[in-house]
Chains A and B, each alone.
Chain A
Amino acid sequence: MVTIIDYGSGNIQAISTIYRNLNIEHQVVSKAQNISIETSRIILPGVGSFDQTMLSLNNSGFRSKLESLVISNKVPILGICVGMQILAKTSEEGKLGGLGWIDGNVKKFQFAEKAELRVPHLGWNTIEMEKKSSIFNDFEAQRGFYFIHSFYFECANEDEILCKTHYGNDFVSGVQKSNIYGTQFHPEKSHINGVNLLKNFAQNVEI
């Protein structure tokens, strides 16, 4: 059972539509107590600002429930966009602390003037895998993924970087530490590559 956390942030509908079309059992929960005991995967979407996302996570009772599932019971979780950024300790976008599950801080893109690199980093870009993971099974490299963000995850530990993307410099576009996954891009809006990634996360990643 894939449990999609609906804490009033992010594109819940698109993710659940993809799982419905794949015939993969899933639920969307807006209350922590409704998380099924059969939950074997968790998706933490995110659109919006860092603080707003943390605030709704803290206030909804989801945080402690997720900590017990993810940290104690090692249930695989996938954070998307801001949902990945809140895995970090801090963000330049806000004042609140993140979950701190993956060591690192979220920074704002800064480019020299006239560098022709606009912020947000918006559109389709490719990724370079930094480690092998079954989450990338059937990945079509040239097509890439859809991004929309002004902040990026600066990972403290090299071995927790899943993939990188080039925009001015290389930045971390995916993280992974044992059962904890995060993608800066939006798999739910990335056509076939995104569908495959969500499918792999549900069925193929190692527990």
Chain B
Amino acid sequence: MLRSRIIPCLLIHENGLVKSVNFSNYKYVGDPINAVKIFNEKEVDELIVLDIDASVKEVKPNFDIIRKIASECRMPLCYGGGIKTVEEAVEIINLGVEKVALSSSVLNDFTLLKEIGDAIGKQSVVVVIDVKKSSSIFSRMTYEVYTLNGKNKFKYSLKECIKFINEIGIGELVINSIDNDGLMTGYDHALVKFVRDNTDYPVTFLGGAGELDHIGKLFEDYGTIGAAAGSLFIFKGKYKAVLINYPSFVDRYNLYSK
């Protein structure tokens, strides 16, 4: 049976590893290559690495650091950050990355999304959408999309973005909740349901996991799904000491069978 995936998500900022709360308050937590080595030993299902500087600073992806991470990585790797052209996506795949994560560039240009899918295979294309709840007394609650690390509110809503993406075809959708980022209080289940009802592609959720039971609850409610987390696999204990961690295969197996 296909298992759900439990995926650490690493953020790279100024060549170091950081963790945020609500997309701000970045805290330095270590060296990315060292983290990858530890996650290798722990046999993680998959790894997401996002460079949060590249798109904001309008620079190209840092191919050197991607090469180092990819050659170290013994598990499937998804890289995102600063990819603006088909050539850059192809180069990243050639460095040994399985999946290329795209966000602002393709949300602004759905033709680019199609072209990248044609070049590297749609199954290797991941679209990351940063989402924030919005409600006013005049309208129903909606999910709004933000780009460039939560700085820019995007012209289309989450529902509209997903509709465009569905038509083009991708490998996976990663939904990142800005509201829940770093809070460690659990995933936004209403958001999960909303996204799952609106697409047939595999979906991974990021933002809010603070304990394994939060992941277990996601598997219990939604079946096969991707559960990504930053803080959970980086911090340990109530004082949030930096300690890279990941559940053992037996512990994961107990979560799958929920």
- Is B241 interfacial (CB-CB < 8 Å)? no
Closest B residue, CB atoms, query A167: B2
Task: Say whether chain A's binding surface is mostly helix, strand, loop, or mixed.
Answer: mixed
Q: Are A123 and B75 in contact (CB under 8 A)?
A: no
User: Which of A12, A143, A150, A167 is close to B123, meaning CB atoms less than 8 Å apart?
Assistant: A150
- Chain A residues whose C-beta falls within 8 Å of the C-beta of B98 in the assembled complex: 11, 47, 148, 186, 189
Provided the pairs A13-B96, A49-B118 are in contact, do residues A119 and B43 lie with their beta carbons within 8 angstroms? no
CB distance from A110 to the nearest CB of B (A): 12
A window 169-207: CB within 8 A of B: 186, 189, 191-192
1/0 per residue A141-170: CB within 8 Å of B?
Answer: 011101111100000000000000011000
Closest A residue, CB atoms, query B170: A120
Q: Are A121 and B253 in contact (CB under 8 A)?
A: no
Q: Are A125 and B96 in contact (CB under 8 A)?
A: no
Q: Which stretch of B23-31, B66-74, B102-110 is in the interface?
A: B66-74
- Is B249 interfacial (CB-CB < 8 Å)? yes
Closest B residue, CB atoms, query A82: B121
User: Which of B2, B76, B122, B172 is close to A186, meaning CB atoms less than 8 Å apart?
Assistant: B76
Q: Are A189 and B76 in contact (CB under 8 A)?
A: yes
- Is A48 interfacial (CB-CB < 8 Å)? yes
Q: How far, in whole Å, are A189 and B43 apart by their CA atoms in the complex?
A: 10
CB distance from B199 to the nearest CB of A (A): 9
Q: How far, in whole Å, are A207 and B32 apart by their CA atoms in the complex?
A: 42
Q: Are A12 and B96 in contact (CB under 8 A)?
A: yes
- Chain A residues whose C-beta falls within 8 Å of the C-beta of B253 in the assembled complex: 142
User: Which of A144, A147, A167, A191 is close to B75, meaning CB atoms less than 8 Å apart?
Assistant: A191
- Is A124 interfacial (CB-CB < 8 Å)? yes
